[in-house]
Amino acid sequence: MRKISISFLFAFLLVGCGYTPTAKLAQNVIGERVYVEVEISRVDPQNTVLIRDAVTSALMNRFNSVIVDKNLADTVLYTTLLNTKFQAIAYDINGYVISYRTVVTLKTNYEIRESKTKGSLTTKGEYDFPIVANSVISDAKRFEAIKFASESAIDEFLAVVAIKGLQNNKE
């Protein structure tokens, strides 16, 4: 009973102080309808497809956005893959790599039509994953890591845009 009372009090304080989740702020700023274009990388075209999937997945699942044609969109996003890196972060007692970190750097140009806001942000996303010692990274692990790191970079982008939108509304 005490736990329920404390949980209720905590929830009441969060609502009472005007707390709004970043996801809600981002949804308010970018709108419901979004157009996404990902520039095809000549060096690594496979990763471009993964990034497009990650961007659309993040927008649809986390922010309830609908992907639409450019002329119907509230917000237009142009995303470019700048860099993908794999870094060894953990070793076993024999010195073999057992864990990697994937770092994806994305540049996103955006246009929010309602507020006539345009801008560009460069964001990084990271994803850590284990491998079997003394082995190479499989294509499946590589693609999964790039996808999750890209989703992390898009989350960062949306958080920054949401905060900028909140600051613009207060001014």
Is pLDDT above 90 for 126?
yes
Side chain identity, residue 10 = F
Per-residue model confidence as pLDDT tens digits over 104-123: 999 999 888 877 778 899 99
How is the beta sheet containing 117-130 ordered, strand by strand?
66-67, 33-38, 75-91, 97-112, 117-130
**Containing domain of residue 36, as a range?**
2-170
Tally of structural domains, the chain: 1
At 127, the pLDDT band (50, 70, 90 cuts) reads very high
Q: In the prediction, which pLDDT does 112 show?
A: 84
Query: Mean pLDDT, the chain, as a whole number?
Result: 81
Is pLDDT above 80 for 7?
no
- What is the CATH number for 12? 3.30.160.150
Higher per-residue pLDDT: 123 or 60: 123
Is pLDDT above 90 for 101?
yes
